[in-house]
Chain A
Amino acid sequence: MSHEHDHPHPPGHPAPAPMLPDDTGSQALAEALRSSFAIVKVAMLLMVVAFFSSGFFTVGPSEKAVILRFGNPVGGGQKALLGAGLHWSFPYPIDEVVKIPITEIQKVTSTAGWFATTPEQELSGEELPAGPSLNPAVDGYAVTADRNIIHVRATLNYHIDEPIKYIFDFSSASNSIQDALDNALLCTAAKFKVDDILTRDRAGFQDAVLQRVSELVDQRQLGIAIDNCQVQSIAPRQLKEVFAQVTIARQNQSKQINDANTYKDKTLLAATGQASAITNEAAAVSANYVKYVIADAGAFNDLLPKYVSNPNLFVQQRLVEAMSQALTNVQDEIFFSSRADGKPRELRLMLNREPPAPKTATANP
C-alpha cells in the first residue's frame, strides 16, 4: 500500500490537474485503509485475547473436570481431577475439558430385588396392598438357597480411587457398579437360607454381599474403593404375618426353656438344702446317741460296785426313787382301801384322753 502511496509523486512527472482528484481519492482510500487496518489490528488483538481467555472454565461443586491435551489426560491418578473453582487450559485444538458429574462420595442403590415402590411411599411408610403373586416385570425379588422368595436391596457407598480408569475405561462406571451390586445380592441370596438372611445371620449375609461386590469391582478394575454397603432384606409382604408368627413362636420357645431353667435351679437348690439337712440331722442324732451311750456306760461303771455289794437293796432303792419321782409329778392321786369283807373291789375307769381310745383296767387286790 505504501507503494501506491508513493506513486503519485514520481520525479519528473508533474501532476496535471486531473491528478488532483485522483490524488485526493487515493488519499481517502489510504485513509480508509489505514483506519480499517487499525480496526483489524484491534480485532486481531481482541481475538488473541479471546482465544486465550476462552481457556478459562469453571467447575461446579458437584462435578470434576479432566483436561485432555491432544486427547491424553493431563496429570495422573487423583491429580488429573480438577475440583470446583476457576481453571485454565489451552483452547480447543490443544486442550479439551471433560466434565464429570461426581462428588466425593458416590452412591449406587440396587433395587432389582425389591418390590415396586415409590420414594413417596417409602417416606410415608405405607405399602400398596400386595397381590397374591409377584409380577416379574414390576416386582423384583431374589431366590434363596432353600428356594424361598425374599426382597433384598442394597446401597453401596464408594469413592473414586483411580479417576482415569473410572472415566476413560467405562462409558458408565456407576452402571457397572450397580450391575455388580445387583449380581452380588442375587448370587449371595442363592447361597443363603431364608432364615439366615432374615434373622439368624443378617451380618453374615451383608458381609458376603460386600465381599462379592468387592471381588467383582476388583476383577473389573473399576478404579473405586468401597466405603460401605448396607443391605436390607424382608420377607415377601404376602407372608409378613406368618413370618412374624414364627418369630413369636421362637420367642415363646426360648421363654419356655428359660422358665424350665428357672424351675431347675429352684428344684436343685431346694434338693441340695434338703440333702444337707438330712445329713446334718443324722450326724447330730448319731453324735448325740454316741455321747448318750458313752455316758450310760460311764454311769454303769459307777453303779456296778454298789450293785454288786447288795443287789437287792440297790434295786429297791432305785425303784423307790423312780416311783417317788413319778408320784411327785402326779396331779390326781386317788387311793382305795380294801373292802371290809375282804372281797376284791371292782374298779372301773373311764379314760378319755387323747387319743380318745376307750380303755378299762381292772385292779385285782
Chain B
Amino acid sequence: MKRNTLIVLIGTVLVIITALLLFVFQVRKSEVAVVTTFGRAGQAITNAGPYFKWPKPIQNVYKYDQRIQNFDDKFSECLTADSTMLLTSVYVGWQISDASVFLSTFPGDSSVSLPNAQGKLEGILRTAKSAVIGKHPLSDFVNADAQDLKFSAIEKEIEQEVQVQLSTNNYGIRLQFLGFKKIGLPESVTQTVFDRMKSERQVLISRAENEGKKDAQIIQSTADSEAVRTIANAQAIATGIRAQGEAEAAKTLSTFQQNPELAVFLLRINAWQQSLNQRSTLIFDERYPPFDLFRNLPANTPGRQP
C-alpha cells in the first residue's frame, strides 16, 4: 500500500508540473505579455505575476521588454531656418505602451519586432528633427542670453512631433524622453570657425595690450595730477599761513609809528649789519666817523703809507 501512495503522489506531482507548464506563465516586472487566442491578441498584461493560459495551439504568449530602451539616431545634417548646415544627433528613450497593438503592428518574436520598431522610430525621428530644426535659426541653438536660447524648447518640439506621429500611426510605442546628444558643424565649416576664432583671439590680445596701456596711463596721469594738486593745495595753505603771520606782525605797526624816524634808522642799521655778515669790502672816507678822528690829529703825526 505504501508504494501505491508514493506512485499516486509522484503521478500527481508530475501532472501538476505538466499542467503548470501548460496552463501557467509568468510575467516578470520588466516585461509585458500578450496572450493570443487563435492568433487574436487580447489585453496586454503589464503587472508581474503568474497568469493562466490555455495550452499552445489555443493560446500563445508573447513577452516584450517593457523597460525604456535607448536609441541614438545617426549624426545627420539638417538646415536651420537661417540656412546653416547643422549636424545633430538625438537620443531617445522609448517604450512599448500597448503591447497588443505593438504585436499587431510588428508581428513576430521580440528579436525581430524590436529592431523593426526602432527602424520605424528612426524614420519618424529623422522627419520630425529636420522639420523642427528647419523652423529655428542657429541663434536658438546657441545663445548666451538664456531668454533667447531655445535648446530645451526645440527638444520638446521634436519630442511632441514624434509623439504625435507615433500615436496617430498607432504603433503601440511611446517616447519617454528625447534630447540632443551631439551638435556639430560640417567639417569644412569648422575650419572657417577656427579662422574666425583665431581672429577673435587676436582682437582680444591686442585689446588686452592696449587696455593695459590705457589703464596704466590713466592711473599714472591721475596720480600725477593728484600729486600736483596736493602740492598746490599745500602751497595755498602755506601762503595763508604766511599771510596770517604778516597780519599778526602788522599789529605791531602802531608801535613803530610812535617814531617813524627811529624805526627807519633801526631798520637801516639792521640791514647794514646784515649785509656785513657776508664777505664784503668796505671803503670809507676819512671824513666819516669814526675815521674822522684821524683828520683832526696834529699834522706831524705819521700816517700809514702804502
A residues apposed to B, CB below 8 Å: 1-2, 37, 44, 68, 70-73, 93, 96, 112-113, 132-137, 140-149, 164, 167-172, 175-176, 179-180, 182-183, 186-187, 189-194, 216, 219-220, 236, 238-239, 242-243, 245-246, 249-250, 252-257, 259-261, 263-264, 267-268, 270-272, 274-276, 278-279, 281-283, 285-287, 289-290, 293-294, 296-297, 299-301, 303-304, 307-308, 311, 315-316, 318-320, 322-326, 329-330, 334-338, 347, 349, 351, 353, 361, 363-365
**Min CB–CB distance A305 → chain B (angstroms):** 10
Minimum Cβ distance to chain B for residue A171 (Å) = 4
Chain B residues near A220: list those with CB within 8 A. 93, 176-177
Tell me whether A282 and B191 are in contact (CB under 8 A). no
CB distance from B163 to the nearest CB of A (A): 16
Assess whether B117 is interfacial by the CB under 8 Å rule. no
- Inter-chain CA distance A310–B286, complex, in Å, is 26
Is the CB–CB distance between A252 and B212 below 8 Å?
Answer: yes
- In angstroms, Cα B208 to Cα A75, docked, is 64
Decide if B234 touches A319 in the complex (CB within 8 Å): no
Interface of B with A (CB < 8 Å)?
3, 10, 20, 26-31, 48-50, 65, 67-70, 72, 75, 87, 91, 93, 138, 141-144, 146, 149, 151-152, 176-177, 179-188, 190-191, 193-194, 197-198, 200-202, 204-206, 208-209, 211-213, 215-220, 222-224, 226-228, 230-231, 233-235, 237-239, 241-242, 244-246, 248-249, 252, 255-256, 258-259, 261-263, 265-266, 269, 272-273, 276, 279, 281-283, 285-287, 289-290, 294, 303-306
Given A68-B48, A186-B183, A365-B286, also A171-B69 (CB < 8 A): yes
B15 nearest CB across to chain A (Å): 15
Query: Are B233 and A275 closer than 8 Å at their CB atoms?
Result: yes
Closest residue of chain B to A306, judged by CB? Answer: B262
Inter-subunit contact B237/A268 (CB<8 Å): no
Q: Chain A at the B interface: mostly helix, strand, loop or mixed?
A: helix
Extra 5 A-B pairs, beta carbons < 8 Å, given A149-B185, A242-B197, A290-B249: A1-B3, A149-B190, A285-B242, A286-B246, A293-B249
Given contacts A182-B91, A220-B177, contact A145 B143 (CB under 8 A): yes
Shortest distance in angstroms between B96's beta carbon and chain A's nearest beta carbon? 11
The answer to whether B219 and A263 touch across the interface, beta carbons within 8 angstroms, is yes
A-B contact pairs, 20 of them (CB 8 A): A144-B142, A149-B194, A183-B181, A190-B142, A191-B151, A246-B201, A256-B216, A257-B216, A263-B219, A264-B219, A279-B241, A282-B242, A286-B244, A289-B246, A290-B248, A300-B266, A304-B259, A307-B259, A311-B261, A318-B269
